[in-house]
A and B are shown apart, each in its own frame.
Chain A
Amino acid sequence: MAVTRSVAESATESAPGTSVVDVRNLRKTYPVKGGPEKVAVADVSFQVQRGEIFGILGPNGAGKTTTVECLAGLRRTDGGTVRLLGRDPQADPASVREDVGVQLQEAALHDRITVGEALDVFASFYERRADPAELMELLDLTEHRKVQFGKLSGGQKQRLSIALALVGKPQVAILDELTTGLDPAARRATWDLVERVRDSGVTILLVTHFMDEAERLCDRLVVIDRGTVVAQGTPTELTDSLGGDRGVRLRFADDAGRGRALDLLTALATRDDDVTGVTPAGGEIEVTGTRKVLFAVVRELAAADVVPDDVRTVTHTLEDVFVHVTGREYRADDDADDNENEEAA
């Protein structure tokens, strides 16, 4: 597949040693009672450069959390090598603790510790410390300083969790599912925050199952599915890899205009090579073709004085990339069936 090939190429580009994160052929299995072991990560490789926001994207159960937990030295690997800041967290987990902040997907605090106390006590664990007051300001936690963890909202807990990951002034921050459970406004605020943190010089490894989050935030990313890397690159590289197909969507005020436009464009498609397809889509018309499809459509409609209410270009999303490389729909809850079985057992 075209996309996976470009993965291999970009992986060899960076000389070993310059990467902040270097994962090669990682493999991790979990024992399963009375059955064959579960392969959570089959073969995952990627490198992260300093100052990047690097994404690990994949559906639920793809093996994202397992990957970063192995990388952080919180789990033993079954194969492959992992390096963080040039050190080996598998051989010596303590060697990376000072310099790597981790926001785990599932980790809470005592219900009765306050925001301020949590930040202060976590700060005391590190030699280099961020100013807890500044962090609270950055994460909009100042007014909740005296609130106990158990009484915080989901978003506030999440922000505290990020603050705790940053309180040791890490060089690398691993953030696992940091916007799950947040409302749209809080998600956007968190995205801005992640960018600010990166701008302050922290390399960020962002684990997410949200396509839009990865597309919006990541400089580069790997897409993981069922424990293997199925795509890798910048978001644009990945979406462009799907080929030259472009799309334009047109909306009209009334059916008359839409009917006339449909006739005009269908005729255009037969004589203009830049236009390859015209399909009615809901109340709209979708036209596909080459990079010049928008010009061709606009020229044709303008000449006939048919004026659409709205014109939108349709671009490929990471979701299309996932569908293309796996042949399956992207369902965030890909692993739901497995989980149900596990619970029933």
Chain B
Amino acid sequence: MNTGPLLTTETKVWLRDPAAVFFALVFPALLLVGLGLVIPDFRNPMEDPGLPWDSAPNVTVWLPTMLALAVATISLTTMPVQFATFREKGVLRRLATTPMPPRNLIGAHLVINVVALLVAASAAVVGGMTILDVPFAVNPLVVLLCFVLATTAMFSLGLLVAARADRASAASGIGMLIYFPSLLFSGVWVPIPVMPEWMAQIAKYTPIGAASQGMLAGWFGDDFPLTQVLVMAAWTAVLFPLGVKLFRWT
């Protein structure tokens, strides 16, 4: 089955949703650069000694968090609502009457959302580096590994939300319910380095907190974030099969 035309059409239609485009693509970069420009302290050099670079601005510690935010936004707000809408409106049902299996529509949207995520993350990194002078990661491969695992874990979580929510409004509600604590654990509200120890410990075992901490470690060239990597892999291993198994097509 040639899924090409389905993928192109779905992409076009996806791009027509202003909310999806804003939150999925632009929001993380905008938040990073916007706050970086507005809050003066974010641009001051870090006082923490022992870093491989001296003049890095404070906002540097926020960049990995923004990458985690990009993952959380797409996987918890954009994607579950899209999938629940397909079900609620009967799009999946209608596809079931054609030779195109409905799971290919879901597959096409996973692809679209992954690409959107790469665009959003690149925009945040490029924006942070060019506008705010954030230095590039010390261990880019560690960052990449954590980013990929964050994506698999969080998309699995989003899939699970979409699997059971029978209405788009329910998917949106449940998504938000998980999204806001996720923001906390990822360090959007309290940056990771100043997070209370107990909170950091909890965050470490959540998929999004592990993602943020892992990417931060990679960015600053700290020790390999083994626990965080294992945590994200474990969440993926549990949530993905569950989401697939519980997914309701009608």
Contact = CB atoms under 8 A, between A and B. Distances in A.
Contact of B90 (A94, A104, A120, A165): A104
A252 interface: no
Interface stretch (B24-32, B96-104, B240-248): B96-104
Given A97-B98, A112-B16, A124 B93 contact: no
Interface of B: 1-2, 4-6, 9, 12-13, 16-17, 85, 89-91, 93-94, 96-100
B13 A112 contact: yes
Given A117-B9, A121-B6, A124-B6, A104 B93 contact: yes
A326 B13 CA distance: 49
Given A94-B99, A121-B5, A124-B5, A113 B13 contact: yes
A2 interface: no
Interface string A92-125: 0010011011101011111011000100111011
Nearest to B95: A125
Contacts of A168: 98-99
Interface of A: 72, 74, 94, 97-98, 100-102, 104, 106-110, 112-113, 117, 120-122, 124-127, 148, 164-165, 168
A120 B85 CA distance: 22
Nearest to B96: A74
A108 B87 CA distance: 10
A125 B98 CA distance: 7
Contacts of A98: 99
B2 A124 contact: yes
A109 B16 contact: no
Given A94-B99, A97-B97, A117-B13, A108 B2 contact: no
A110 B91 contact: yes
A165 B78 CA distance: 30
A104 B98 contact: no
A98 B98 CA distance: 7
Nearest to A74: B96
B83 to A, nearest CB: 12
A115 to B, nearest CB: 12
A172 to B, nearest CB: 12
B13 A110 contact: yes
B13 A74 contact: no
Given A104-B97, A125-B100, A120 B9 contact: yes
B89 A126 contact: no
Contacts of A104: 90, 93-94, 97
Nearest to B2: A124
Nearest to B9: A121
